[in-house]
Amino acid sequence: MIQSEPAGRQGVADPYGQGLYQPYLHRFAVLTAAASVILIAAGAAVTSTGSGDAVPDWPLAYGAVFPRMVGGVLIEHSHRLLAGLTSILIGVLGLWLWAKEARRWTKWIGGIACLAVLAQALLGGLRVLIISQESLQAAALRLSGLGHINPVRIGVAAAHAFLAQVVLCLTFTLATVTSRAWLGFAAVGKPRSFRAGRWLIAVMVLVVFAQLILGALMRHMGAGLVIPDFPLAFGHWVPPFVNLPLDARAPFPLTREDLLWQVLVHYSHRVVALFVMLLVVGLMIRGKRRRDSESISGRVIGLIAALTLTQVSLGAAIIWTKKAMPVTVAHVTIGALLLGACISLALWSWRAPGAPSEVRSSLPLGTMEVLPQ
Amino acid sequence: MSNKKFVFVVFATVSIALSLAGCGKKTGEEATVDTKSSSPAGGGASAYNESMGTATVTGKVAFTGPAPEKTKIQMSSEPSCLSQHKGPLYAQEGEINANGTLPFVFVYVKEGAEKWTFPTPSNPVTIDQKGCRYEPHVFGIQPNQKLVILNSDPILHNIHTYAKENAPFNLGMPTQGMKFERDFKKAEMPPISIKCDVHKWMVSYAGVVPHPFYSVTGVDGAFTLKGLPPGEYSIEAWHEKYPSQIQKVTVGDKETKELTFTFQG
C-alpha cells in the first residue's frame, strides 16, 4: 500500500524535501508527456501535408466545433482537437500538483506548463489568423515594419514550434520528478555515479533543443529539400555558398538571398546533427568508463543513442524519399522523444549530488533508508 | 494576492484573450472590395490608348520529348465532386494536348510595355470551385482588377493565395453558392499559386501583369497577344512544371508576328 506521509516525517534523510510517491499522479504525468509527443507528431503531419491553413478560422473550424473531417481539415482539426486534449491534461495535471504535491517547485513547473500550453494554443491560432484575417495581417505588418507577411508567418510558426518543445520539456520534467525512482523508492543503480557528466548532458539538452528549433524553422521555410543530396551537399561536404545553383528559369525561382538562407538553415541542421552524434558518443564513453550500463542514466544513455541513430537515419531518408510524409512525421516525433530523454537524463544527473547515494529497492513503499557511504 | 487568486486572474486573462482572438470576421462574410485603379507603370509612362495597339503577336507552345507521367487524383472522399467528372482525373500540370502542344501556358509581355499606363479593367475575372477543381486553372489579371471567387460545389473549400508580392488571403467557403470579391494590388510574376488546403489537388495560378498583353494556351496550344503598339518586346511563356522561356520580338504597325515556344519533356 502507498503511504501518504512525507518521508521526512519518518525521520529519514530527505535532502530535497520531496513528498511521497503518488502513483496515479505519476501515471497521469506520463500520460500527459506522451500526449505532448503525440501532439508534436500531429503538428508535424500538419506541416508535412501543408494543411495548416485548411481551416481559415480559429478557434472554431468553419464556424463549427466539429466540421466535416475531410482532407486537410481532417489533419488540421485533429491537431487542434489533440491540442485541446493535451491542454486539458496539462491543466488537470497542474491543478493536481497544486492540490496534492508537497514540493513547491513542482507545483510551479505545473503552473508554468499550464501557461505555456495556453500560449502555445494562442500562437497556433495566431499562425492561422495572420493569413486569413486581413485586419490582423495589416496590424502585424504595421507592427513589424515588414513589407510582406511571410517572414512574420514563419516567425510565428517557429515560435509555435519552440513553445511545443518547451511544453514537452515541462511535461517530461513532471513525469520524471513524480516517478517512484526519482523520489528514492526502488531506485535502480547509482544516479550519483553520473554526476561528473552533468555538464555534458546539459549541453546535450541545449543542443538538441536548438536542433529541433532549427528543424522547425527549416520546415516552415520550406527548405527541407533545398539541399537535394545526402550525405553530401550539392556534391560537396560543404555547400558552395558563394556559387549556389540558382535556377532563374524555374517555374517558381528563389531569389539568391532566399536560397542562401534556406541552404544555411538546412546545412546548420545537418552540422548540429553531427554535433549531437558526437555528444552521444561522449556520453556513451563516459557511461562505459563508469560501468553505468545498468543504472538509470546508463539505460537513458542507451535510449538516447538508439534514438539519435534512428533520427539521423530518418533525416537521411527524408532527403532520399523527397520528404515522404510518414518519414517526416517520424523524424519530428523521434526528435521530440530524444529531447524528452535528454531532459530526463539531465534531471537525473543534476539531482544526483545531494540525492541518497543508494536506496534499497526491497524496502516497503513509503519508507526510505539511506545506506552508509 | 494569494496564489489561488493569482492563478485565477492569469487564467481569466488568457481566456479573454483567447475569446477576443476568435471574434474576427466570420467565415462566409461578404467581403468589401477596394476597386481603386492604380497606375501600373512607373513615372514617365504615358497613357495607352487603343488606337496605338495595331500589332499582334501570335503563336503556339509546342511540347517535345516523352510525355510526363500522369498523377491520378484520388477524389473518392468527395463523391459530389467525383460525380461531376467522367473517367479518371489527372493533375492538370501533366496535360499534353492531342496535337502535341502544351495547355495552361501563361504567355505575356515581360518587357517592352513599361512605357505606357493602362486603365484597370472594369470587367471582373471569375474563378470558380467546381467539381473540386478551379476553373480556370491558369489565368491573367491586372492589378486592382476585381477577382470574383465562387464556390459552385456543395462542399466546403478554402481558397488560399500564396502571394509573394501581394498580401496573401485565405478564405473559408463552406457552402455552395458563396461568393467573395478580392483583388491584387501589385503586379506579380511568376503567377500567384492559389490552393485549396483541404483538397491538395486543387490548384490554380494567377499571373498579375500591369497590362492586358497576356494569353493562356488552351486545347490547341495557341496564344494571341493583341493590341500591341509597334515596338520591341520580350515575351515569356510560363508553365507550372517546366522552365520558363523568353523570346524577343519586334513588331511594326499593323504587323502580326508568329512565335513558337517549345517545351522539352
The complex's ipTM works out to 0.82
Q: Residue B180: inside a domain, yes or no? A: yes
Cβ atoms within 10 Å of B155's Cβ, excluding its own: 21
Of A56, A136, A150, nearest to B171 by CB-CB distance is A56
Of B21, B27, B198, nearest to A71 by CB-CB distance is B198
Is residue A231 exposed (0-12), middle (13-18) or buried (19+ Cβ within 10 Å)? exposed
Mean pLDDT across chain B, nearest whole number? 86
* Chain B touched by A57 (CB under 8 Å): yes
Q: Tell me which chain A residues have a C-beta less than 8 angstroms from the C-beta of B102.
A: none
CATH of the domain at B126: 2.60.40.420
Give the mean model confidence (pLDDT) for residues B133-138: 97
Q: Residue B91: inside a domain, yes or no? A: yes
pLDDT tens column, B170-196: 999 999 999 999 999 999 999 999 999
Of B22, B170, B195, nearest to A56 by CB-CB distance is B170
For residue A89, is pLDDT > 70? yes
Q: Tell me which chain A residues have a C-beta less than 8 angstroms from the C-beta of B242.
A: 251
CB–CB of B28 and A251 under 8 A? no
Chains A, B: CB contacts within 8 A come to: 123
Q: Which residues contact A36 (CB under 8 A, 6 or more apart)?
A: A86, A90, A164, A167, A168, A171, A172, A336
Query: Residue A351 to residues A252, A264, A300, B162: CA-CA distances in angstroms?
Result: 53, 38, 15, 50
Whether B208 and B189 have beta carbons less than 8 Å apart is answered as: yes
* Chain B touched by A98 (CB under 8 Å): yes
- Rounded distance, CA B126 to CA A236, Å? 48
* Chain B touched by A69 (CB under 8 Å): no
Taking alpha carbons only, the member of A247, A220, A207, A215 closest to residue A332 is A215
Q: Residue B170: inside a domain, yes or no? A: yes
Query: Residue A289 to residues A194, A279, A355, B154: CA-CA distances in angstroms?
Result: 10, 15, 22, 68
- Phi and psi, residue B251, nearest 5°: -120, 140
pTM for the whole structure? 0.84
Residue count of chain B, please give it. Answer: 265
Whether B82 and B75 have beta carbons less than 8 Å apart is answered as: yes
Q: Tell me which chain B residues have a C-beta less than 8 angstroms from the C-beta of A79.
A: none
Per the model's pLDDT, the better-predicted residue between A102 and A299 turns out to be A102
Q: Residue B16: inside a domain, yes or no? A: no
Q: Are strands B125-130 and B147-151 parallel, antiparallel or unpaired?
A: parallel
Mean pLDDT across chain A, nearest whole number? 86
* Chain B touched by A63 (CB under 8 Å): yes
Structural domain boundaries, residue B50: 46-264
- pLDDT score at A291: 60
The residue to which cell 528563389 is assigned: A254
For residue B39, is pLDDT > 60? no
- pLDDT score at A301: 87
Whether B78 and B132 have beta carbons less than 8 Å apart is answered as: yes
User: What 3-state class would DSSP assign to B106?
Assistant: strand
Of A50, A68, A250, nearest to B197 by CB-CB distance is A50
- Rounded distance, CA B116 to CA B44, Å? 9
- pLDDT score at A294: 56
Q: Which residues contact B229 (CB under 8 A, 6 or more apart)?
A: B48, B52, B53, B54, B55, B116
The residue to which cell 466535416 is assigned: A68
Q: Please count the structural domains in chain B.
A: 1
From B11, which residue of chain A is nearest by alpha-carbon distance?
A: A115
Q: Residue B72: inside a domain, yes or no? A: yes
Q: Residue B38: inside a domain, yes or no? A: no
pLDDT tens column, B43-57: 578 999 889 999 999
Whether A198 and A70 have beta carbons less than 8 Å apart is answered as: no
Q: Tell me which chain B residues have a C-beta less than 8 angstroms from the C-beta of A124.
A: none
Handedness of CA B246, B247, B253, B258 (dihedral sign): negative
Supply the DSSP string of B199-239, one letter for each residue.
STT-EEEEEE-SSS-EEE--TT-EEEEEEEPSEEEEEEEE-
Strand segments (E) across A24-179: none
- Rounded distance, CA B188 to CA B145, Å? 13
Q: Are strands B55-64 and B256-264 parallel, antiparallel or unpaired?
A: parallel
- pLDDT score at A351: 75
Whether B183 and B147 have beta carbons less than 8 Å apart is answered as: yes
Q: Are strands B179-182 and B188-195 parallel, antiparallel or unpaired?
A: unpaired
- Phi and psi, residue A327, nearest 5°: -65, -45
The residue to which cell 517520424 is assigned: A330
CB–CB of B199 and A72 under 8 A? yes
Q: Residue B32: inside a domain, yes or no? A: no
Q: Which residues contact B171 (CB under 8 A, 6 or more apart)?
A: A56, A132, B27, B31, B149, B158, B159, B160, B180, B182
pLDDT tens column, A32-66: 999 999 999 999 999 999 999 999 999 999 999 99
C-alpha cell at A227: 539541399
pLDDT tens column, A149-160: 999 999 999 999
User: What 3-state class would DSSP assign to B253?
Assistant: coil
CB–CB of A71 and B167 under 8 A? no
Q: Residue B169: inside a domain, yes or no? A: yes
- Rounded distance, CA B148 to CA B155, Å? 19
Give the mean model confidence (pLDDT) for residues A169-184: 91
Taking alpha carbons only, the member of B200, B177, B194, B178 closest to residue B78 is B200
